[in-house]
Amino acid sequence: MAEAHSKPNHDYHLVDPSPWPILGATAAFVMAIGAVMWMKGLAPLGLKAGGFVFGVGLLGVLAVMVLWWRDVIGESSHGFHTKVVQIGLRYGMILFIASEVMFFVAWFWAFFNASLFPADTIEYSKLEFTGGAWPPKGIEVIDPWHFPLLNTLILLTSGTTVTYAHHALLTGNRLGLKIGLALTILLGAIFTYVQAYEYAHAPFAFKGSIYGATFFMATGFHGFHVIVGTIFLTVCLGRAFVGQLTQGHHLGFEFAAWYWHFVDVVWLFLFACIYVWGSWGAVIEHG
C-alpha cells in the first residue's frame, strides 16, 4: 500500500498537508502589525515594541520561506513534478507575475493621478500635495541620468547574464551556468546598494509631499522585488552546485529567470515614467 501511494498510476501530484501557508500568513500579519506600530509610534500598555514585533514577524517569514522552499525542492528532486504537474506550475507562475503586474499598476496609477492633474490639490493636515504643479513646488528631484541610469544599465546587464546562464544550462555548460548566475546575483546586489545610497541622499523625504510618497512606494517596492529575485537566484546557484539543475529538469531556475525579467521590465517603466518624465522641467538636485 505504501509503495502504491508513493507511486500513483497518474501524473498528478497530490500535495501533502503543509503548515507553511498558515504559518506564513500569520508571520506576515505579525510583521505588518509591527510595522504599523513602529511607524506610528504606537505603544500599547506603555511598551514601544513595534520594532521588536516587526522583527519577530520578519524572522517568521524568513523561516517559512526557507522551510517551504526546502519542501518544494524536495518534491522536485523526488520526481513529484511530472510533465503534467509542471504545466500547472507554469500557469501558476504566469498568474503570479500577472498579479504582480497589477500590483505595480496601482503605484503607477497613483503617480499619474497626482502628476497629470496637479491643479486638483488636496488639503490634508493643512498640506497642499502639489501646489498646482508637478513636481510639487519646492521639490528638487533626483537626476535621472546619474544613479538611475547606472541602475538601468546594471539591470539590463543582469538580464543578459541570467539569459546566458539559462542557455548554458540547456547546452550542458555547467561552468557557464554557475558563472552566469553568480554575475546576475552580484549585479542584483550592486543595484540594491546603489538604490539604498540614492535613497539615503535623496533631496526629498517619503513624507511631506505626494511626490515623495509615490516615488518611494513605487521604486521601493521594486527594490524589494529585486531583493526577492536575488534570493531566488541565490537558491538556484546553490542547487546548481549540488547538481539539482539539469538540462531536462530546472523548473525552479526557469521561474527565477521569468521573475528576474519581470523585474527588469518594471524598472524600465519606472525609469522612463517616474525618473525621466516625472522630473521633466523640475529643479535637479546636484549633490
Q: Is the pLDDT of residue 123 over 90?
A: no
**Residue-wise pLDDT tens digits, 174-194:** 999 999 999 999 999 999 999
- Higher per-residue pLDDT: 122 or 9: 9
Give residue 176's pLDDT. Answer: 96
**Residue-wise pLDDT tens digits, 5-24:** 556 667 887 778 899 999 99
Residue 228: CB atoms within 10 Å: 14
Spell out the domains of the chain, with CATH numbers in brackets. Answer: 1-80 (1.10.287.70), 83-285 (1.20.120.80)
| pLDDT-derived band at 71, boundaries 50, 70, 90 | very high
Q: How many CA atoms lie within 13 A of 157 on its CB side?
A: 16
Give residue 6's pLDDT. Answer: 57
pTM, to two decimals: 0.86
Cα-based distances in Å from 7 to 10, 198, 249, 259: 8, 54, 19, 32
- Distance (Å, whole) CA 91 – CA 103: 18
| pLDDT-derived band at 46, boundaries 50, 70, 90 | low
Give residue 59's pLDDT. Answer: 97
**Residue-wise pLDDT tens digits, 138-184:** 788 999 999 999 999 999 999 999 999 999 999 999 999 999 999 99
Give residue 137's pLDDT. Answer: 78
- Distance (Å, whole) CA 40 – CA 49: 11
Give residue 27's pLDDT. Answer: 97
**Residue-wise pLDDT tens digits, 79-112:** 888 889 889 999 999 999 999 999 999 999 999 9
Q: Cis link prior to 135 (omega < 30° from 0)?
A: yes
Q: What does the pLDDT average to over 245-264?
A: 93
Q: Is the pLDDT of residue 32 over 80?
A: yes
Q: What does the pLDDT average to over 105-123?
A: 79
Give residue 142's pLDDT. Answer: 92
| Mean pLDDT for the chain overall | 88
